[in-house]
Structure 1
């Protein structure tokens, strides 16, 4: 007979997925953000805990690289299927764009009423500097072997053929994103795709109404309701420091660029 006082509580892994999704890190003080390489050991650790009852993805991300989003999400799904444990995504401030891609790796998505979810789209941004070169009297000299090697060169005017190619690339990536959402949210999407897949984002309450999330809630109450009052949380991953502090140990160009890129990603959500 198993004595009650000798029974050990179930363990729930809480895996933090915080920050911009990119192949590179965000500077000396920054946590590595979200990347396939950086998250791989953390994901493995989350699914290797003893007495594991489930994994909670605690998501706070404005998005980023679609490739890194896909790689991280696929690793989570592979281990979830192997270990046969439920995965629940709990959204903090945002699960937008690539952040929502990650949320869809879960079996269920829980959000705060004020969370931001969605932004199911793909974006490409850059600068045109051809006029600036002319004003300062600089001559650009560019030589290529291959007609497409100077694709979207920022130092010359845009070419219609480049724009057509870019639109095709963005459309293909968008279709991949939409197919993932359709698969993972099959039978639960309530909004019209012409609205859901425009790149628009919604509050957590609206996301539940549209079927982009399953219910409102937060991580602690969700774990207690799903796994019991005695369930033990094992938090994996750390919070990132406020973004200006990530520049302090050394104002390298990479650190400044990474911080500015992440700040811009959050700003697109109004956060």
Structure 2
């Protein structure tokens, strides 16, 4: 055999080997893609199955949440986190919960279980007014506020509308004040050499602009707005608490300070120390608690998570997958 023929034969063998290896690799890749797509398919089937199950049983869960015993129950409404529009503790959610609780024929008493630093005076005011209206419409049903960790500012505003307020000895209660804060960037702008240009059609339209130096008359005006809101807050608390509030001996009650539950009891900010179960059992006389808090249903929460997950898996299944590093 000539050397040329041997080299040609070896070259053909190498080419065949590479083609065989390439075919094997491509077959493996196709198998992996097929397995991944089938895996995604079965995951989607599982999601669909869970979705159907939740759709069938979610109404039953909601009914059980608002269901009562044959005798009666204590309605509980949670006020958690910031009191603000679009939050869990918004006026819309709390007011809807209150109306449902008072309307239920088996409600023997209502407890607002509070753990909140406060928030919007407007949202708090809406809830305060609705509590007083419902108490007048349903005089036989008492409403109690129970403060757990924190009942401050707007949260205490709401609590003061209750028939009685309870707290733990270590709860933080009070903060009857109003605040508005921001930042000033005038010095920073000067150091950066940036010139701020604002055009308005009113003399004070940009008075809260953090990039311009404050004016004394505008600062005084803004302070008057806060003082007006503070006065409204104080009037509502006094109206709700009445003679129980020892504000004559302790004018610092309205300074924005907070106190422990034990101190708040001495100041008339709360009526007694106790938990939600204590108030239900010993004060209302109905130890069974039924939660009337308006919340997203399990189906709603699942649907939101499912939507994002399904979209991602469908894109992968249909081949719309971006580059990844592994």
For the criterion TM > 0.5, the same-fold answer is yes
- Taking a change above 3 Å as real, the CA distance of residues 193 and 170 of structure 1, as seen in their structure-2 partners, is farther
| Residues 161 and 237, structure 2, Cα contact 8 Å, conserved in 1 | no
Q: Name the residue aligned to 2:187.
A: 131
2-side partners of 1:195 and 1:16: how far apart?
Answer: 29
2-side partners of 1:96 and 1:65: how far apart?
Answer: 12
Q: Name the residue aligned to 2:112.
A: 57
Which ranges of structure 1 fall in alignment gaps of 5 or more residues?
Answer: 1-6, 26-31, 241-248, 250-271
Query: What's the secondary structure of 1:187's corresponding residue?
Result: helix
Q: Name the residue aligned to 2:267.
A: 210
Answer 1 or 2: which has greater helix percent: 2
1:40-78 Cα offsets, whole Å, 9 max, x none, are: 322222222221111101011101111111011111221
1:56-108 Cα offsets, whole Å, 9 max, x none, are: 01011101111111011111221121122111000011110101001111010
CA RMSD of aligned residues (A): 1.9
| Residues 88 and 295, structure 2, Cα contact 8 Å, conserved in 1 | no
Q: Name the residue aligned to 1:160.
A: 216
Question: Quick one: which of 247, 255, 263 aligns to 1:198?
Answer: 255
Which consecutive aligned stretches of 4+ in structure 1 deviate over 3 angstroms post-superposition? none
Query: What's the secondary structure of 2:148's corresponding residue?
Result: strand
Q: Name the residue aligned to 2:88.
A: 33
Q: Name the residue aligned to 1:120.
A: 176
2-side partners of 1:226 and 1:38: how far apart?
Answer: 26
Query: What's the secondary structure of 2:173's corresponding residue?
Result: strand
2-side partners of 1:38 and 1:87: how far apart?
Answer: 17
2-side partners of 1:165 and 1:135: how far apart?
Answer: 29
Q: Per-residue deviation at 1:212?
A: 0.5
Q: Per-residue deviation at 1:193?
A: 4.5
Q: Name the residue aligned to 1:258.
A: none
2-side partners of 1:78 and 1:70: how far apart?
Answer: 12
Q: Which has the larger radius of gyration?
A: 2
1:225-271 Cα offsets, whole Å, 9 max, x none, are: 0232x54211122799xxxxxxxx8xxxxxxxxxxxxxxxxxxxxxx
Query: What's the secondary structure of 1:186's corresponding residue?
Result: helix
| Residues 9 and 231, structure 1, Cα contact 8 Å, conserved in 2 | no
Q: Name the residue aligned to 1:233.
A: 289
Query: What's the secondary structure of 2:244's corresponding residue?
Result: coil
1-side partners of 2:236 and 2:94: how far apart?
Answer: 20
1:157-182 Cα offsets, whole Å, 9 max, x none, are: 11101110011111111110111111
1-side partners of 2:252 and 2:123: how far apart?
Answer: 25
2-side partners of 1:135 and 1:38: how far apart?
Answer: 47
1:95-149 Cα offsets, whole Å, 9 max, x none, are: 1010100111101000000100001111110000112222222221100111121
Which ranges of structure 2 fall in alignment gaps of 5 or more residues?
Answer: 1-68, 297-304, 306-326
RCO comparison, higher one (Cα < 8 Å, 6+): 1
